[in-house]
Structures are given as structure tokens and as C-alpha cells.
């Protein structure tokens, strides 16, 4: 990994970019080493998450938004990471988001990468954040991240994105209520797509009502958190009210307003200090995630499987409790860590 | 999570609108554990090469029923190589007359599959071809 390589990424060597994306996605040693270097060059891009139920028009909306962002800021490159689910049975995947993005392919400043979720839950793949860092380092100013079709709990994208767009459609009936409750909390911008269908106004006003209710709660909660934070990390009180926008993405209707909202959300984040706070939170979450994996690896090296098995058996025979088994395992781990560091 | 997944682009160049064959193959490769990027109908060779570049695929499957294979396939091969992807496996499915098969193979097409092909054979071939390239 040399600075020459990073240079060539920034200058637009798309073959090199595409190959390093694969290496990072596959978690090869090369990919890991590259990512360590590349991370130091990240932090400039606005990451925009797009989530919502299957069939709500996420891909089409991303397609339209990418076009409009390029029109507004021609000197900024746009990356799209589109995640689709992997089969839990075969590990295979059919990645079909590009079908809705065909008219972006004549613009060489837009780079679309499809990703299979590879068993991760939460709406993203395990390496989605890593890929977004590669794009960021390669000088892409906007990174659009489209999640798998999401229901209630696929909210990982919030930890990663600066701006989260939740896409909904009219006329999804009563089922949608539960989804609304789940996704409202994570939306910075709410979109009622396919708004040329009946019931769009009703859906939009319903969402607006729910935003207003949730908004007063959000303020109280954020104030509470502020008093608990250490002085260095106190964030500004939240005063962004998620707008509810109607779009017909396939006809490019409402996309100007959506783009306005995306850009002014970035301004808001920067001015309020939230950009900094989100960046810190994302990095903290990233470190914690890796730490848990590494600690487990360490543990597995320090404590032979037979030791674990024998404690499981003792617990099954009701000689000790699972709690006690954990205490013993931790003690065993500690002793062996000391031994190996001597 | 470090297992190398085979990534395949399935595309339909040209103007015919029959994508059932392409979808059947895409589905079969998926069920074989591969990651299949499906781009849909009416792709130009440039669009296919661009998608192959961005997705860093190991193989490209072209479905052609229009009779324009002698114009489209060489153009895709040339565009993909011009992008620097010299080791991508390109295979073709559809209605290809006997007399056109050998010339296409000579230009670098890996295999040509006609109607009635067993999709398990396709999966097996692709797997073997991609892992042979990886070792080379």
C-alpha cells in the first residue's frame, strides 16, 4: 500500500478502485492493509443512507438523487453502494438494484457497487462501512448507501450515515403503522414515494403528525443525554425537524426538494456540531465492533475448547451455574494472557 | 467471512425483449452460491463493460436471442479488455447458429449455451473456469 496507490484512486483509476473494493469486501490481508491507510484520508464525504420496505422505490430514488446531486455539484463524484440480501441457504445472491440505475452509466463520475449482505442482519453487509471508507478516501463527495428492503429492526444504516432517508409509499394499509413507529426514529428525511398513487397526501400528513409528536420527545431526550455526557462531547440541542417529502422518483418529480433537504441537512450537521458527533459515534461503534471480534479471538486462543466444554457439562449437570462458568472462563483467560505476555 | 465469492454479471445486450433465459441462468447461479449482478434488458456493450468494471466481476454472461451476436459479443469483449479486465470469463447463452459458434470461441468467448442446456452444467463450468483463472 503506497501513497502512489491512493493517488491513483483519487485521480480516478476505477479499475484499481473496483479491485480494492473487492479485497476489502472479502477481508483479504491486502484489503485490510489498504483500509488502514485509506481510513486516514476519510472524513470529507457526506454519507446518505436510503432505507425503506421492499418495493418502495429505493433504487429508483437513489438513481434520481445521484443525478440531481451531480447536477448541483458537478465537481463532486457520487458513489452508490446498493445492498441486497444473500440467501441464508446457499450464500448466493441476486443483486438487481442496477436495473433501476441504468441511466447513470454514461456518467463516469458516478460509481455503483452492488453488495450482498452475506449473512449480516441489520440491513447492511458487514463490510458496507469499510467500502464507504474506500470511496471516501478515493475522493467521492457523496456516498449513497441503499439498504436491503427493511422492516423494523434494520437500522444499522443510522450508525453509518450522516443523513438517513426513509422511503415509504402510499396505501400500504395498516401493516405500515408498525413500520412507521420503528423507522420514524431514524429518519432525517421522510419520503412518500410513488406519490402519484391514491392516498399519498394522507400518508404524508400521517407521517407529519407522527414526526411532530416524536419531535418534542426527541428534544427532551437529547437534553437529558447532554447532561450525562462528558463536557467535551456535549452536542447542540437537536433542532432538525425531519421534513416529509412527496416524490415520484421514476418521473423525477420532487427530487429537487429532496436534494435541497439532503444538502441543507449536511449544513445543519456541520453548523450544529452534529457532524463531528456522528463521526465520533461511528468511529466508536466501529472500534467497539472490531474489539469484540478480536477479544473473542484472543479468548479462543487462550482457552482451549475442552475447557469450555467441560464447564458446559458441569453446568448441564447442575453442578455449577452458567454464571459461575463464565467467571471461571474469564479467570482462565486472564491467567493465560499473563503467561503469554511474559 | 474471508471466503472468496464468485461474482457474475448477467446482461442482455441489444434490443430483443426476452429475458426469461437470462433470469433462469441468474437464478441457477444464485442457487449455486454465487453473487449475481443482474442488469436487465437493452444494454449496450459499453454499459455492460462499465457495469463489469464497477462490480469487479469474475464472469459475464450475455443472453442474446436477436441474432446480433456477431456484432455485440466482440464489442463487449473489446470494451471489457480495454478497461483492463483481461481475465474475466465471458459466456454466451441464446440462439446462436452452429456456424457462428467457433468464430466467437476463437475471439475469447469461454462457452456458448443453447436452449435446453442443463443449468447445473453452466454453474459447474463457471466455477471451474473462475478458479482456474484465480490459480493462474
Residues 6+ apart with CB under 8 A from A2: none
Mean pLDDT value across residues A170-176: 61
The answer, yes or no, to whether residue A226 has pLDDT greater than 50, is: no
pLDDT at residue A230 in the model:
43
The answer, yes or no, to whether residue B79 has pLDDT greater than 50, is: yes
Distance of CA A36 to the CA centre of its chain: 19
What whole-number distance in Å separates Cα of residue A127 and Cα of residue A139?
19
Q: Residue B56 and residue A21: Cβ atoms within 8 Å? A: yes
pLDDT at residue A227 in the model:
40
The answer, yes or no, to whether residue B99 has pLDDT greater than 80, is: yes
Mean pLDDT value across residues A235-255: 84
pLDDT at residue A224 in the model:
40
Range in A12-26, A198-212, B27-41 the model is least confident about: A198-212
Candidates B42, B39, B45; CA nearest to B16 is B42
The answer, yes or no, to whether residue A150 has pLDDT greater than 90, is: no
Range in A1-15, A77-91, A282-296 the model is least confident about: A1-15
The answer, yes or no, to whether residue B72 has pLDDT greater than 60, is: yes
**What's chain B's average pLDDT?**
92
Cell numbers of A261, please? 433537504
Residue A209's φ and ψ, nearest 5 degrees, are -60, -45
pLDDT at residue A164 in the model:
94
The answer, yes or no, to whether residue A218 has pLDDT greater than 60, is: no
The answer, yes or no, to whether residue A217 has pLDDT greater than 70, is: no
Which has the higher per-residue pLDDT, A180 or A89? A89
What whole-number distance in Å separates Cα of residue B57 and Cα of residue B85?
9
Distance of CA A233 to the CA centre of its chain: 22
Confidence of residue A279 (pLDDT cuts 50, 70, 90): very high
Of A19, A86, A99, the CB nearest to B38: A99
Q: Residue B51 and residue A105: Cβ atoms within 8 Å? A: yes
ipTM: 0.92
Candidates B39, B31, B131; CA nearest to A86 is B31
Residues of chain A with C-beta less than 8 angstroms from the C-beta of B38: 94-96, 98-99
The answer, yes or no, to whether residue A233 has pLDDT greater than 70, is: no
pLDDT at residue A199 in the model:
87
A192, exposed or middle or buried, with CB in 10 Å at 0-12, 13-18, 19+? buried
pLDDT at residue A36 in the model:
93
The answer, yes or no, to whether residue B118 has pLDDT greater than 70, is: yes
Q: Using CA atoms in the order A110, A115, A120, A122, what is the torsion angle rounded to 10 degrees?
A: 40
Cβ contact A84:A154 at 8 Å = no
The answer, yes or no, to whether residue B76 has pLDDT greater than 80, is: yes
Range in A101-105, A244-248, B24-28 the model is least confident about: A101-105
The answer, yes or no, to whether residue B2 has pLDDT greater than 50, is: no
What whole-number distance in Å separates Cα of residue A112 and Cα of residue A93?
17
What whole-number distance in Å separates Cα of residue A131 and Cα of residue A143?
10
What whole-number distance in Å separates Cα of residue B115 and Cα of residue B108?
21
Residues of chain A with C-beta less than 8 angstroms from the C-beta of B83: 15
The answer, yes or no, to whether residue A336 has pLDDT greater than 50, is: yes
Of B2, B35, B84, the CB nearest to A95: B35
Measuring CA to CA, how many Å separate A167 from each of A26, A170, A247, B67? Answer: 30, 10, 10, 41
For cell 452536542, the residue is: A235
| Interface mutation vs chain B, best among A105, A107, A134, most B CBs within 10 Å | A105
SS (H, E, C) chain A: CCHHHHHHHHCCCHHHHHHHHHHHHHCCHHHHHHHHHHHCCCCCCEEEEEECCCCCCHHHHHHHHHHHHHHHCCCCEEEEEEEECCCCCCCCEEECHHHHHHHHCCCCCEEEEEEECCCCCCCCCCCHHHHHHHHHHCCEEEEEEECCCCCCCCCCHHHHCCEEEEEECCCCCCCHHHHHHHHHCCCCEEEECCCCCCCHHHHHHHHHHHHHHHHHHHHHHHHHHHHHCCHHHCCCCCCCCCCEEECEHHHCECHHHHHHHHHHHHHHHHHHCHHHHHHHHHHHHHHHHHHHHHHHHHHHHHCCHHHHHHHHHHHHCCCCCHHHHHHHHHHHHHHHHHHHHC
pLDDT at residue A2 in the model:
61
The answer, yes or no, to whether residue A238 has pLDDT greater than 60, is: no
pTM value?
Answer: 0.87
Of B5, B30, B53, the CB nearest to A94: B30
* DSSP reduced 3-state for B33: coil
| Interface mutation vs chain A, best among B35, B60, B80, most A CBs within 10 Å | B35
pLDDT at residue B83 in the model:
95
Which has the higher per-residue pLDDT, A243 or A223? A243
Measuring CA to CA, how many Å separate A275 from each of A65, A129, A257, A279? Answer: 21, 17, 22, 6
Q: Residue B38 and residue A94: Cβ atoms within 8 Å? A: yes
Q: Is A92 on the interface with B (CB under 8 A)?
A: yes
pLDDT at residue A49 in the model:
95
| Interface mutation vs chain A, best among B54, B80, B83, most A CBs within 10 Å | B54
pLDDT at residue A204 in the model:
87
> pLDDT above 70 covers what percent of chain B?
97
Candidates A321, A235, A236, A243; CA nearest to A281 is A235
Distance of CA A194 to the CA centre of its chain: 24
Cβ contact A112:A14 at 8 Å = no
pLDDT at residue A243 in the model:
93
Determine the angle formed by the axes of helices A3-10 and A29-39, rounding to 10 degrees: 70
Mean pLDDT value across residues A142-152: 86
**What's chain A's average pLDDT?**
86
End-to-end alpha carbon distance in chain B:
24
Q: Residue A92 and residue B35: Cβ atoms within 8 Å? A: yes
Candidates A142, A147, A132; CA nearest to A104 is A142
The interface residues of chain A toward chain B in range 239-298, judged by CB-CB distance below 8 A, are none
Q: Residue B56 and residue A112: Cβ atoms within 8 Å? A: no
What whole-number distance in Å separates Cα of residue A59 and Cα of residue A251?
13
Confidence of residue A121 (pLDDT cuts 50, 70, 90): confident
pLDDT at residue A234 in the model:
39
The answer, yes or no, to whether residue A229 has pLDDT greater than 60, is: no
What whole-number distance in Å separates Cα of residue B113 and Cα of residue B122?
8
Q: Is A118 on the interface with B (CB under 8 A)?
A: yes
The radius of gyration of chain A from alpha carbons, rounded to an integer in Å, stands at 23
Q: Is B40 on the interface with A (CB under 8 A)?
A: yes
pLDDT at residue A225 in the model:
42
Amino acid at each position: 500500500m503506497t501513497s502512489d496507490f491512493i493517488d491513483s484512486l483519487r485521480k480516478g483509476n476505477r479499475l484499481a478502485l473496483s479491485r480494492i473494493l473487492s479485497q476489502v469486501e472479502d477481508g483479504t490481508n491486502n484489503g485490510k492493509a489498504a483500509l488502514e491507510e485509506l481510513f486516514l484520508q476519510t472524513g470529507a464525504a457526506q454519507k446518505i443512507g436510503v432505507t425503506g420496505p421492499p418495493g418502495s422505490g429505493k433504487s429508483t430514488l437513489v438513481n434520481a438523487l445521484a443525478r440531481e446531486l451531480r447536477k448541483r455539484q458537478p465537481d463532486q463524484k457520487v458513489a452508490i453502494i446498493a445492498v441486497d440480501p444473500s440467501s441464508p441457504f446457499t450464500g448466493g445472491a441476486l443483486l438487481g438494484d442496477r436495473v433501476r440505475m441504468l441511466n447513470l452509466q454514461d456518467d463516469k463520475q458516478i460509481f455503483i457497487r452492488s453488495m450482498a449482505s452475506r449473512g449480516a442482519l441489520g440491513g447492511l453487509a458487514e463490510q458496507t462501512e469499510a467500502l464507504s471508507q474506500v470511496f471516501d478516501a478515493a475522493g467521492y463527495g457523496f456516498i449513497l448507501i441503499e439498504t436491503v428492503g427493511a422492516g423494523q429492526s434494520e437500522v444499522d444504516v443510522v450508525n453509518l450515515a450522516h443523513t438517513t432517508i426513509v422511503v415509504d409509499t402510499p396505501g400500504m394499509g395498516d401493516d405500515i403503522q408498525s413500520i412507521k413507529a420503528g423507522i420514524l426514529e431514524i429518519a432525517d428525511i421522510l419520503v412518500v414515494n410513488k406519490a402519484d398513487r391514491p392516498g399519498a397526501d394522507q400518508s404524508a400528513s400521517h407521517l407529519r403528525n407522527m414526526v411532530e409528536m416524536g419531535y418534542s420527545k426527541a428534544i427532551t431526550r437529547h437534553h437529558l443525554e447532554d447532561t450525562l455526557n462528558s463536557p467535551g462531547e456535549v452536542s447542540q440541542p437537536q433542532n432538525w425537524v425531519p421534513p416529509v417529502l412527496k416524490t415520484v422518483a421514476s418521473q423525477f418529480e420532487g427530487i429537487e426538494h429532496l436534494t435541497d433537504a439532503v444538502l441543507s441537512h449536511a449544513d445543519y450537521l456541520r453548523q450544529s456540531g452534529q457532524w463531528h458527533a456522528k463521526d465520533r459515534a461511528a468511529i466508536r461503534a466501529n472500534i467497539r465492533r472490531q474489539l469484540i471480534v478480536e477479544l473473542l479471538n484472543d479468548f479462543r486462543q487462550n482457552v482451549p475448547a475442552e475447557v469450555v466444554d467441560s464447564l458446559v457439562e458441569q453446568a448441564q449437570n447442575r453442578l455449577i451455574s452458567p454464571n459461575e462458568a463464565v467467571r471461571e472462563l474469564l479467570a482462565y483467560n486472564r491467567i493465560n494472557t499473563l503467561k503469554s505476555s511474559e | 467471512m474471508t471466503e472468496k465469492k464468485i461474482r457474475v454479471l448477467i446482461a442482455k445486450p441489444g434490443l430483443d425483449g426476452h429475458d426469461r433465459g437470462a433470469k433462469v441462468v441468474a437464478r441457477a447461479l444464485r442457487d449455486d452460491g454465487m453473487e449475481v449482478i443482474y442488469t436487465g434488458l437493452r444494454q449496450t456493450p459499453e454499459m455492460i463493460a462499465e457495469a463489469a468494471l464497477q462490480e469487479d466481476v469474475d464472469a459475464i454472461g450475455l443472453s442474446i436471442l436477436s441474432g446480433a451476436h456477431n456484432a455485440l459479443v466482440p464489442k463487449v469483449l473489446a470494451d471489457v479488455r480495454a478497461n483492463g479486465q483481461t481475465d474475466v470469463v465471458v459466456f454466451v447463452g441464446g440462439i446462436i447458429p452452429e456456424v457462428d459458434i467457433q468464430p466467437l470461441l476463437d475471439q475469447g468467448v469461454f462457452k456458448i449455451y443453447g436452449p435446453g442446456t442443463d443449468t447445473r452444467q453452466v454453474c459447474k463450468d463457471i466455477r471451474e473456469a473462475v478458479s482456474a483463472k484465480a490459480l493462474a
